Structure 1
Amino acid sequence: MVCYHWCSLSKSYILLMLFLCIQYAELQTPDPCDTTEALNDMNKRHPTYQMDATPLCDYDLVKKWYSVGSKVMPTTAPDLLSCGTLYPYWIKDPLPTVTNTIAEVTACKVEFGDTCAKDHKIRVKKCNDFLVFELIPTTGCSSAYCFERADGCIPQTVTDVSVSYQNVMWDSSLPNNRGIVRHSPYFNLICNFAPLPTPNLNYKITWYIDKKEIQTQVVTSSTRNKATFSAKEMANHIETLNVWVHCTVEVMGSTTGTSCPSKESPLFFVGVKILSELPIVMNRGGRAFIKLQPTVPFVTDTLMLGNIVLDATPVELDLFAKTTQCNGALVNGFSCSKKIKGFPYPDRVQYDTPTNWNQVINYEIVNENTAAFDIPHLITLQLTSTSGSGVVGHMFGKLPFPDLPIQMVEDKNSWKGKSCTALTDPHMRTFDNLGYECQLDGKFILYRNTESNQEVHVKHRLCHRWYSVPRCICAVAVRAGRQIFTIDICQGNRYINFPLCEDEVMKVVREQDKLYKIYLPSGTTVQISIREWPWGTGTLHLDVTIYPSAADEGKSEGLCGSLDNSYHNDLTRRNHAQPDPIVTYPDGFSRSWVVEANEDLFDKDINEYGFINSMSITNRLLCECNPTSKTALCTYTAGKTCYYERGRKLQCFIFGENKFDKRRKRSIYELDKTEQKKKQHKAR
C-alpha cells in the first residue's frame, strides 16, 4: 500500500511538472499574431494577376510566420499562370474562424490539368481581425503562394498600361558668393493607363527597376499625369542607366484601403538601346553598322553666370569602344567615339521635341583582314560611355552595354535557310537534311557547339501506352555558358524555368502559349513547341527545331549532325570515327550521343553544375578603335586576345511576345479545348 501511494505521487508530480514546463514554453514562444515579417509582392499574388516576365518564386522562402494584412489564401483553385507565377498554391481546407486558434491546412499546387498536383501542410492562425500564415518553401520555381482580399474588392483592372518618357525638368540653385547658378536637369517617366469610368477611385502605382520594386504612389483619374518616376529617384537605387523599368496599376476604393487586382505595363528600356540583331554578321573585308538609340534624353548640369554658360565641356555624351588591357597591350577606343547631344539650360525647350535627342546612332565597324583565318570566328566589341555632370548626368557614365558579338565569315552561306528538327515520334532531320529515326529511351545531345560553349539536350520517352515503338521528347535543356533553360513535362513534371542563371547570355521569348524561342549568343535559335499527341488524349510532347548561325559552320555535332553542306558525314559518332552507314534506324550512332553523367543538364541542384564553363572565361578577340577612320576595327591582326570582364548580362526573363509585350496566358489544356472546338466548328 505504501509503495503504491508513493508511486502514484511520483506520477502526479511528473505530470504536474510537465504541464508547467509546457505552459512556460508557450509563454516564451512569440505570438504569431505579433509577427512583423511581411510577405513580399502582395500586389502580384492576386488570382487575377497573370504571370509576367518576372514570375514569383517562393522556393527560397524561409519557414516562418508571415503577415499578409487583410488578405487570405484562396480556398478555390486559381488558374495556371495566375497569382504572378506559373504554378500557384491555394488551400483546400477551411480557414480558422475562432480568434487565437491555429489550424493546419493543405496547400495545393496547380499544374497542367491538375488543381492539386502536389500538396503540403501549412499552419494558419486567426488573430483578432486578420490571419497570419506559417509558410514553407515551395517545391520549385516558378511556384508561389496565392492571396486575395478577405472582403469585397473592386474586380476590374485598368487597360492600356505603359511606361514612356514624359519630360525634362530642372532644379536651380541659388547663386553662390560668385553669382554662379547651377541648373540640374532630370527626366521623368510616366505610367500611362486608361482609368475606369467609376468615379472617386484611387490608383496605386508601383514602380520597378530590373524586377525590383522601388516605390509606390497613389493618384486619381484626374491626377494620373503625376504617376511619374524621376531620374532623381532612380539615382537613389542605381548608379548607371541601361535598365528595364515597368509599373503596375491597382484600383483602390480609398487611399488607405487594401489594393486589389493590378495590371502591369510592358518593360521599358531606360538608357541607350541596341537596335541591331546580334550577333552582327559580316564578310571578311566587309563593314557593318551597329544601330543604337537613346530612349531617354542625355542631360547634364549647366553652370551659369547671369546669361553666360560657364560649362567648359560640350553638352554631349561620348559612346566609344571600351578601353581594355589585354596581354600587355592597350585597346584604346575613345578616339572613335560617337556623340549623343544634350542641351544646356538656355536651350532646354529642345527636350520637348524627341527627334532632337533620340535619333538613331550608326556605329561603324570594319574588317580589313585579308589573311587566311579559321572561320567562322567571333570577335567582340565592347561599348561604354562618358558621363555628364550632376547626379543624373553621372548615371550616363560607363553605361553597362552587353557584349556585341561580331561574327566574321567567308562568302559561304551553307548555314542559311537550314534547320535541324526533332519532331514528335521523334522524326529526326539533320542540318544537312538527312532524315532518320531515333526510337530510343534516354537523354541525348541533340546539338552541341563546343567553340561557342552552347548545347541542347533532349529526353525521350514512350509517346503513349497505345504504342510500343514511338518515342517522343518530354524535356529539353538549352545551355549557353553557365545559363540553362529547361522545359520538362516528363512523368508529371511541368517545369519551365532556369535551373542555372549565372552568365545570362541567352534570351528566351514566349512567342505563343505553347511556343518558345531561345536566342543563343552566337545567333543560333532554338524553337520549342508543346503539342498534344495522340490527339484528344491529353498527352503532351515537345517538338524542337534548331536554326543554325554562321558560328555552326563545321562546328556542330550531336544528333543534328555536322553542318557542312554534306549529309554523308551526319551520322558521325561521338568518337569522330568513320560515319555510320545511312539507314533509317542508326541506333549505334544515336546511342553514342547519349548524355553521360558528367555532362547531364537535367535533374540537378544548382550546386551540381560545376562541370560547366562560364562565358566569362572564354578567350576572345576584342575589337579596337582605328583613330584614323574613327571606326571600330574588328580584325584578327588588330584584335587582342584576352580574358576580359563581360558586359551587362541579360536578365533570366521569359520575354513576352513582341519583345516584352505581355498578355493573358491560358492553361495548355484550356487552349487545346478551344482549338478542338474550332476544328469541330469548321468540320460542320
Structure 2
Amino acid sequence: MKPVYFSNLSYVLLNKTNLVTPGGNVSCSVRSRTTARGLPGLSVKSAEIFIGIKVLTPYITIKRGESGVIRLQPTVPIGCFPKNSNCQLSLNLIRSNKYFSQGIVLLETTNCGATIHTENSTAVLEIAVVVEEDNGRAMMAKTFDAVFRTDLYLFHAFWSEYTLPVIKIHVNDVRVPNGVCTAYSGVYMMTFDQRPYKIQSAGDFIMYKHTEYQIQVQIRIRTCHHGSPYCIWGVAVQAGRDVFVIDKTMGMVDFSVCSDSVLDVRREGTTTYRIYTPIGTRIDVSMAVSHLTVKIYPSVRDMEKSEGLCGTLISDCTDDFRMGNNAYFHSLDTAKTCNAIVFQDYNFKPRVFSNSWIGSHVPGAVNLFNLSSNLTSLQPWRNDLRRCHCDAPGGKLQREINCTSGMVSTHRRIERSEIKISTCRNHNISGEDRFKRNTTLNKIKRDLYHHTKKKNED
C-alpha cells in the first residue's frame, strides 16, 4: 500500500490506488510541526488494523451427519456511493466442480453464502454448512476446504471478487456396523445387528422406522401358494409425503403418494429395485416368481435411531426386540449376545414381538399399502434439512442456487448405471415426460404380471 499524504487530519481518502484490495493491515503515522515551515517532530504510529473480512473459524470439526457453523466478520463498513445510501455485498461459497460427490455445501439457505448489509456491515456472519456425502455407509474421515468470495462489483471495485483465506473443515467419521436388515421367503428375518428369527403370521408389518425422520418401510406378508407357509408379497417405502409401493397382490409398482419428491427409485437389472431415502438409507427389493426379498442397508443417520422388525442399529443383539408399544419382549433367546448366535436361532419364532409390529397394532401407525383415507396423516419432509450450493464452473459463479433434500449425492448411483425408473413428480408433467414415465411403468407392470402368471401356472 502506498502512503497517503494529507494536511487535513479530519479526512483521508483511501482510493483504489492507495488500498487496492481488502485482506491487508492498515496503520497511520503522524508527525507534527510547531510552525508551517518548522522541522517535523517524532513520528507516532498507530496499531495495525485488518481491513477486510476476518475468518473467525479458520478450522472447524463436524461430526458426520451433523452440521457446523462458519463465523466471519467484516472489520470495516462496506461503504456505499453516494454516502449514506443502502447497498449490500454477497459473500459466496465457491464450488468449482458441479459433479463432485463429496464436499462442503450450505444448510437450508436462500443465497449462495451470506449477505453483508450496509446498516450492520460489521456484524458477525454465521453460515451453517454440512458435508455432502457420496455414500451413506462408507467411511469418510476427511478434511475439506471451504472458499468464500464476493461477487464481481463494477460499482465497488474495492470489494469486487475478494477471496477469503481457505477454511479447513474436518469430518469426524462415525463407523456404521456392517449389518443389513433382511426379510426373505419363509419368512426369515435378520436384524441390523444380525440377530436371526422367523415370522409365522400374515399382516402388513413395519419392518423399519426411523425415530427422528419421517421414514419407514412396511412389508406385506401373506400365505404362499406352495412351498413355505408365508411369503413377502409387497413392500412400501415412505419418506415424508412420498410412498413407493411394490405389491404383487395388486400388480403395482409405482408411487401411491408423491408430494415431496425426496425418494429416489432406481432399477438394477430386470427384477431388482433400489430405493434411496434422503438420509442415505438404501432399500433393495428383489422380485422372484413367488415372493420378494427385502434388504435394508442403513446409513450413518440410522445409528441408534431405528425400530421395527429390524431392531435398533447399535451392534447389540440383546436390544433388538423392542415391540411396537415400546415394551421389550424378553425370553432366554432374546438375551443372547450377537457372538452367541447359532444355526438353531434361525428358527426362533418370537410371535409376540413380530405381531406387535403389525401396523394395526402400533399406536398411530398408518398402513402404507392403503392410504386412501389417511393421506393427511403423512407429515411433509423437513425443509430445514435441505442442502444448497451455487456452482462456479471455471471459477465463475452462477447465481442460480440448487437445493436438494437428499443428504447423499446421487453421483455414485449414476456411475453404477442404475436406471432411474420412477420420478416423483406430481406437478407440471409434460406430455413427453408423462409418456416416457407411463411406458416404463407399463413395462414394469407387464414384468410383474408375467412373474405372477408363471407362478400360477406352476
TM-score, normalised to structure 1, is 0.34
Q: Which has the higher contact order (CA 8 A, sep 6+)?
A: 2
Greater strand content: 1
| TM-score normalised by structure 2 residue count | 0.50
